[in-house]
Structure 1
Amino acid sequence: MAKKRVSFIGLGVMGTCMAKNLVKKGFDLTVYDVMEKPMEELQSLGAKSADTCREAARVSDVVIAMVRDDSQIDEVIYGENGVWEGAREGSIFVISSTIDPLHCQRIAAEGKEKGIRFLDAPVSGAKPGAEAGTLTIMVGGNKRVFEECRPIFEAMGKNIFYLGSAGMGETCKLVNNFLHILNLAVLSEGIALARRVGLETETLLNVVRVSSGGSWAVQNWDLIQELVKEYCDGKKGPLWLGMQKDMALMLKMAKDVGQLVPIAGLVSQLDTFRVFPGVTRSFYDYSPSWTEHGTSHEGNR
């Protein structure tokens, strides 16, 4: 079976790596982003570029969107020269962004009316997984459409899960991210406590990695320290914003279905980065010298 023509919209850190793997695996790839530089990089590897989302949709069998949030997805689909204007009947639209599951279901229903098939396929694995092509991909939508797209997913990921109807991929991703955020919060407190009583962080982690307190966060401590570097430098960057967004989406999902999540509610009231595992601080042990956006908290203590 001939490989499908794929368009990839959204060339941020994750999207660029995912698109590169599609090129490496021999897919006929067209890319679009509002920034020229990542498109030029993909073109140098053999991809083609589109001038608009509409053009990207028009020239492909499958369109993958990997942008920041619900509002950017709406711009990709409904904005001027959006995907809906260019997508052909029978084509497939895939959302790999982490967004509201109910919004995915609405988009899927609209697509069906237009003869456009739909999958939600958010990913997990961070930049290293995207670079290596070992992402976990969580897919919701029609199973036949999923099977059609399996070779595309396998070019970008290692662990591919079909989870049911439209929105179920996003549902699983939000629960996963919820667990991840809570793991980071608890790990931060544990490290702060260990330091306070004189136990070195690396010694603690070496024990926990082979004990019942282990987690992805524990196993990937070095990566986490790199990811939260901006926070440790006293800044709130894209990672902080992403964590805030995902926690808000998870709480909305719980409210939509009437599920109590009191622990999530507690953590959501904290500055997410203040419970992240930083190099020397947790939200319990800020010193007067700690600054945020360059503003000292000394006057507020």
Structure 2
Amino acid sequence: MRIKLNFHKIPRIPAKYRLLLYNKGVCISSQCKDFEKVGATIAVTPCDVVEEADITFSCVADPQAAKEMVFGNCGVLHCPSLEGKGYVEMTSIDADTSHDIVEAISGKGGRYLEAQIQGSKTQAEEGTLIILAAGDRTLFDDCQSCFKAMSKNSFYLGSEIGNASKMNSVLQVVGGVSLAALAEGLALADRAGLSQADLLDVLALTPLASPHLILKGRAMIESSYSTHQPLTHMQKDLKLALGLGDALEQSLPLTATTNEIFKHAKRLGYANHDVAAVYIRARF
């Protein structure tokens, strides 16, 4: 089986599989060369990947890039047939984009699974992500050995396309709002003359605490913004959640405000820093 992956580092895929790699726009970069050294085969186009692979995993920047992989020049749809092929979309996308992709893939005889990722760069490197999947159940089952290499758990949320995207959006709302609240709390403590370290020590002992919030709180007070989860990715996910809210006529006032906070942090130059950099916006 040959698998196309777009990750910063190749996950711990079982040795019985062969990796076929396409990295959009930078196929001759040193990063791809590093992948090649550990056994990956470099493909020229997305179409080449799908033609050679039994199952293709796609993980790119955003919904538009995900659609370009399928509908763009030399994209997946340029393959004469997708019979017997599986396509797993791991990009953080909205339900409408996922529906567009599944119609294209299934229209040529392929199987489709949306598999949204919960986790950071560190968790990806450790193989401890959480995967939220929806779509073809047989494809989900076929991907289990790969999912187990990448994640600590994978959830099948049913055959209805969009379920995984919606679940991911809901979780990102909770995560984004929590981070913004933590940043404001730390900023308020600082302005009030309180020790931020003491605040985190107390917080760690309360029911409000979580390892993630305490870790990000430490990063905020230490101004340590090396990227584990890019701030721009969180803002993108909040925007997708707002789109879902609009489609369902569900009011999301906290999400809307949090989105504006993250947008402002991006304008301050912290788009590619860690999400903890939202503290800069709260403090100043």
Question: When the two structures are superposed, what TM-score results if normalisation uses the length of structure 1?
Answer: 0.81
Q: Give secondary structure in 1 for the equivalent of 2:74.
A: coil
Within the candidate set 201, 216, 220, 1:221 is matched to: 216
Cα shift at 1:106: 2.2
Cα shift at 1:227: 9.6
Residue 92 of structure 1 pairs with residue 83 of structure 2? no
Q: Give secondary structure in 1 for the equivalent of 2:8.
A: helix
Q: Give secondary structure in 1 for the equivalent of 2:21.
A: strand
Cα shift at 1:173: 1.1
Matches of 1:57 and 1:113, distance apart in 2: 15
Q: Is the 8 A contact 2:4 2:55 kept in 1?
A: yes
Q: Give secondary structure in 1 for the equivalent of 2:281.
A: coil
Residue 28 of structure 1 pairs with residue 18 of structure 2? yes
Gaps of 5+ in 2: 267-274
- Where does 1:62-101 land on structure 2 (aligned, <5 Å)? 62-86=55-79, 88-101=82-95
Residue 53 of structure 1 corresponds to 46
Gaps of 5+ in 1: 232-237, 287-301
Between 1:167-176 and 1:194-203, the stretch displaced more is 194-203
- Where does 1:145-156 land on structure 2 (aligned, <5 Å)? 145-156=139-150
Cα shift at 1:138: 0.8
Q: Is the 8 A contact 1:134 1:157 kept in 2?
A: yes
Cα shift at 1:41: 0.9
Within the candidate set 242, 249, 260, 2:233 is matched to: 242
Residue 7 of structure 1 corresponds to 4
Residue 41 of structure 1 corresponds to 34
Matches of 2:128 and 2:257, distance apart in 1: 33
Residues 85-128 of structure 1, C-alpha deviations (whole Å, 9 max, x = no match): 23631211111110111210221122212111101111121111
Matches of 1:121 and 1:143, distance apart in 2: 12
Matches of 2:85 and 2:215, distance apart in 1: 38
Cα shift at 1:270: 3.0
Equivalent pairs, count: 269
Question: When the two structures are superposed, what TM-score results if normalisation uses the length of structure 2?
Answer: 0.85
Q: 1:253 and 1:125, CA in 2 relative to 1: closer, same or farther beyond 3 A?
A: same
Residue 129 of structure 1 pairs with residue 134 of structure 2? no
Residue 119 of structure 1 corresponds to 113
Q: 1:168 and 1:223, CA in 2 relative to 1: closer, same or farther beyond 3 A?
A: farther
Matches of 2:72 and 2:189, distance apart in 1: 51
Q: Give secondary structure in 1 for the equivalent of 2:133.
A: strand
Cα shift at 1:218: 1.7
Between 1:111-120 and 1:86-95, the stretch displaced more is 86-95
Matches of 1:214 and 1:128, distance apart in 2: 21
Q: 1:245 and 1:209, CA in 2 relative to 1: closer, same or farther beyond 3 A?
A: same
Residues 229-267 of structure 1, C-alpha deviations (whole Å, 9 max, x = no match): 379xxxxxx933322221111100111122121211222
Q: Is the 8 A contact 2:169 2:237 kept in 1?
A: yes
CA RMSD of superposed structures (Å): 2.6
Between 1:24-33 and 1:133-142, the stretch displaced more is 24-33
Q: Which amino acid aligns with 1:214?
A: A
Residues 161-197 of structure 1, C-alpha deviations (whole Å, 9 max, x = no match): 1112222111111111111110110000111122223
Matches of 2:258 and 2:95, distance apart in 1: 22
Residue 181 of structure 1 corresponds to 176
Q: Is the 8 A contact 2:70 2:101 kept in 1?
A: no
- Where does 1:243-258 land on structure 2 (aligned, <5 Å)? 243-258=234-249
Within the candidate set 155, 162, 176, 2:156 is matched to: 162
Q: Quote the sequence identity (%).
A: 27
Q: 1:223 and 1:144, CA in 2 relative to 1: closer, same or farther beyond 3 A?
A: farther
Cα shift at 1:68: 0.5
Q: Is the 8 A contact 1:6 1:27 kept in 2?
A: yes
